[in-house]
Amino acid sequence: MGMDKVVLGAIWYVVFLVSVTLHEAAHGLAATFLGDRTAYHHGLVSIDPLPHIRRSPFGMVIVPILSFILGGWMIGWASTPYDPFWARSNRRKAALMALAGPVANLLLVFAAAAAIRAGVFAGIFYAPEHVTFDQVTASASTSVEAFAAILISILFTLNLVLLTFNLIPLPPLDGSNLLLLFLNERMAERYEALLYHPTYMIIGLVIAWQVFGPVFGWVHLQALNILYPGAGYY
């Protein structure tokens, strides 16, 4: 692996740690405000990635590094504990807690997009002819501006990936909890039996991974054309 690849991997990993840590911390913070202090007592309502790494070393270290080596981009996971009895007694609050993680990723997408637009306005960045995961924006410079373009591009892409994947409405992903905001008590009980069943969780992950490619392709394209009005990406 060349030095350029090592440096790019390091950038990916820093952005990954920040993005996943904020996602999980948002779950914990929302749960704490809504009445479940489980994550708080485990020290996971924190933007320090170390507690999250200690809880999920495989998803936070091994899988991201392997996915970058094999595919050139990073994916992984962490988890935030919560009280299942609280969740079943407070279904709508639990659903809001689940959606807090994707909201954190959405805010990071907005932050990256704002930085890109500011860079374009200042003449630092421009829309690349061909977009890749680590080149959503580009700079003619070979110094600090070029490094910033890569960093912001990865921040935009990775958080769009995390947002899109986690909002797929299949268990055990965060988006599967969205229906709990609208179902009545009887229907919510039946739906929860599916959400927490291990077999359905495995099936949900398999299906989600299969549909993610085309779903993300469409979302990514729409996001790029909003980011660069008139660019006509297709």
What is the DSSP-derived secondary structure letter of residue 48?
-
Domain assignment present for residue 25? The answer is yes
* Rounded-to-integer distance, Cα 217 and Cα 234, Å: 10
Domain assignment present for residue 83? The answer is yes
Domain assignment present for residue 234? The answer is no
Coil, helix or strand at residue 46: coil
Domain assignment present for residue 85? The answer is yes
Q: Which residue(s) pair with 126 in the sheet?
A: 138
Residue 123's domain comprises 3-227
Q: What pLDDT does 196 receive? A: 83
Q: What pLDDT does 142 receive? A: 77
Domain assignment present for residue 104? The answer is yes
Question: Model confidence over 159-183: pLDDT tens digits?
Answer: 999 999 999 999 999 999 998 888 8
Residue 172: asked if its preceding bond is cis (omega within 30°), the reply is: yes
* Rounded-to-integer distance, Cα 26 and Cα 107, Å: 11
Domain assignment present for residue 184? The answer is yes
Alpha-carbon Rg of the chain, whole angstroms?
19
Confidence of residue 185 (pLDDT cuts 50, 70, 90): confident
- Cα end-to-end distance, the chain, whole Å: 32
Q: Output the CA torsion 187→188→190→195 (10° steps).
A: 140
Domain assignment present for residue 127? The answer is yes
How many domains in the chain?
1
Question: Model confidence over 45-84: pLDDT tens digits?
Answer: 999 999 999 999 999 999 999 999 999 999 999 999 999 9
Q: What pLDDT does 231 receive? A: 86
Q: What pLDDT does 211 receive? A: 96
Domain assignment present for residue 93? The answer is yes
